[in-house]
Amino acid sequence: MPPKNKKNRSKKMGKGKLKTAIQSLMEGEDDMKTAIHGAFEKLDTDGSGFLEKDELYEALNELLGADDDEVAIPKKRFDKFFEKMDKGDDEHEGKISEKEFTKRARGLFKQMQETEDDDDDD
């Protein structure tokens, strides 16, 4: 029998991959607003001004290096992630506005900056 915590470990890995993917889009930018806007534009592959569920799923999988027939992010993990991202605005249910994305991505940008600051201290 597999260890009980194996399922939890896989969930954490999935969540970490999502954070890593979004943070990688913000690398190289010192200004949070610029970094988040740039990441949103890269993920908005159809230029609609919104991140639709399928669009974001495909973009993140591609960013993580998944081939056409592969998946880097488990669908269930992504569905939970997308649901959290889409909570802020009932008006655009099923797609994420740049405003919603910005709210959620601020924490990721701050974590990224803190990590860089810690690296500078070494």
Domain positions in the chain are 13-121
Q: Is 0.95 surpassed by the pTM of this model?
A: no
- Residue of 92, 94, 87, 112 whose CA lies nearest to 36: 112
Local mean pLDDT, 10-residue blocks, the chain (122 residues): 39 58 76 86 93 90 77 85 75 81 79 61 56
CATH of domain 13-121: 1.10.238.10
- C-alpha to C-alpha distance for 97 and 17, rounded to whole angstroms: 22
Instruction: List pLDDT tens digits, range 25-58.
Output: 777 777 888 888 988 998 999 999 999 999 998 8
